[in-house]
Amino acid sequence: MSPLFPDSAAGATPPPPDSYPTIAGTAEAEVKIQRSRFIGLAGHAPDESAARQFIADVAKRFHDSRHVCYGWRVGVPPRVLENRSDDGEPSGTAGAPILVEIHKRELLQIVVVVVRYFGGIKLGTGGLARAYGYSANLALEGATIRQVWQGRTFQLQIPYTLQKTLRHLLDQFEGKIIHEKYSAEVTWQIWLPHSQWQSFRKTVGEATAGKVVLVEIESE
C-alpha cells in the first residue's frame, strides 16, 4: 500500500483539490463467463477500516466462493492510499484490473470487490484479467457517482453598503453563503474552494480597505 500523492523531494505536500468523485451507497452486478460466476460489488469507503469491513462483509456473505478479490482507494486528498488483492488467483489477474477500473473514473474513497465461483473451465491469465476488470466495470456502471467538494469556511462582518460588492466577489471566486444574519451589520458564514480562499481574502481586503476580515471557522 502506498500514497497516491507522495510528498515531493523538498518535503512539500501538494494542495488538496477542490473536489473529487466517489460513489454514494453501494452497487452490485453479476456476470457468467465460461461457466464461472463473477459478482462485482462497489461501496463507499472513507478509510482503510471501512474498506476492510466492506470486504469482510462480502466474504461472509459469499463464504462458499472460490475467490474474493478487491481493490480500494481510500482517504482524503492529497493523502490517498490504495491496495489490492488477487486472493489466490495468479498474480496481477484480479486486484490490478479492479484498480484499473477505479482509476479510469478517478474515484476515491471506494472499494470494489469481485467474488468468483469457479465453473470448471480455466480462463488463463488474460481471460481472468478481462473477467475481473469487466465485473468491476459492471458494478461501477451501476453506481451513483457524487462529487465531494473541499474547501474552507469563514465568518465575516459586512457593512450594508459593501454587501453587493462582497456578493459579486464571492461569485467570482466560486464561493457560497452558508448562513446570513442581519443586525447592525451583515454576518456571513461562507464556504470557499481550497484553490480560491487565499485570493478571495486578499481581494476582499483590497476592495474594502481592510474593513472586512475573514475569520476561519475550524472544522469539527
Arithmetic mean of pLDDT, 12-37: 89
Q: What percent of the chain has pLDDT over 70?
A: 93
Q: Are residues 6 and 59 in the same domain?
A: yes
Contact 174, 19 (CB under 8 A): no
**Structure letter (DSSP) for residue 171:** H
Q: Are residues 134 and 162 in the same domain?
A: no
154 has a pLDDT exceeding 70: yes
Q: Are residues 96 and 167 in the same domain?
A: no
Q: Are residues 80 and 181 in the same domain?
A: no
Q: Are residues 156 and 136 in the same domain?
A: no
Of residues 61 and 8, more confidence is placed in 61
Q: Are residues 91 and 121 in the same domain?
A: yes
Residue 163 φ then ψ, to 5°: -65, -45
Of residues 112 and 15, more confidence is placed in 112
Cell of 161: 453598503
Residue from 116, 31, 33, 30 nearest 68 by CA: 116
Arithmetic mean of pLDDT, 185-210: 93
47 has a pLDDT exceeding 80: yes
Q: What is the pLDDT of residues 87-98, one digit of tens each?
A: 999 999 999 999
217 has a pLDDT exceeding 70: yes
**pLDDT score at 78:** 76
**Which of 148, 183, 200 is the last residue before a domain boundary?**
148
Q: Are residues 166 and 83 in the same domain?
A: no
Picking from 13-22, 106-115, 139-148, which range would have the lowest pLDDT averaged per residue?
13-22
Residue 60 φ then ψ, to 5°: -70, -40
12 has a pLDDT exceeding 90: no
83 has a pLDDT exceeding 60: yes
Instruction: For residue 168, give its domain range.
Output: 150-217
Q: Are residues 20 and 97 in the same domain?
A: yes
| Nearest-angstrom CA–CA distance, 212 and 162 | 9
15 has a pLDDT exceeding 80: no
| Nearest-angstrom CA–CA distance, 193 and 59 | 39
**Which of 129, 148, 167 is the last residue before a domain boundary?**
148
For the entire predicted model, the pTM comes to: 0.79
Q: Are residues 137 and 158 in the same domain?
A: no
Contact 210, 203 (CB under 8 A): no
Cα angle for residues 165, 169, 173 (degrees, 5° grid): 175
What Cα–Cα distance (Å) separates residue 65 from each residue in 3, 14, 35, 37, 41?
Answer: 31, 42, 14, 9, 14
CATH of the domain at 35: 3.30.230.30
At 97 the three-state DSSP class reads: helix
Look at the chain and report how many structural domains it folds into.
Answer: 2
Q: Are residues 115 and 192 in the same domain?
A: no
Q: Are residues 133 and 51 in the same domain?
A: yes
Residue with C-alpha cell 486472493? Answer: 87
CATH of the domain at 210: 3.30.70.240
Amino acid identity of residue 48, one-letter, is E
**Which of 110, 129, 148 is the last residue before a domain boundary?**
148
**pLDDT score at 4:** 39
Q: What percent of the chain has pLDDT over 90?
A: 84
Q: Are residues 144 and 160 in the same domain?
A: no
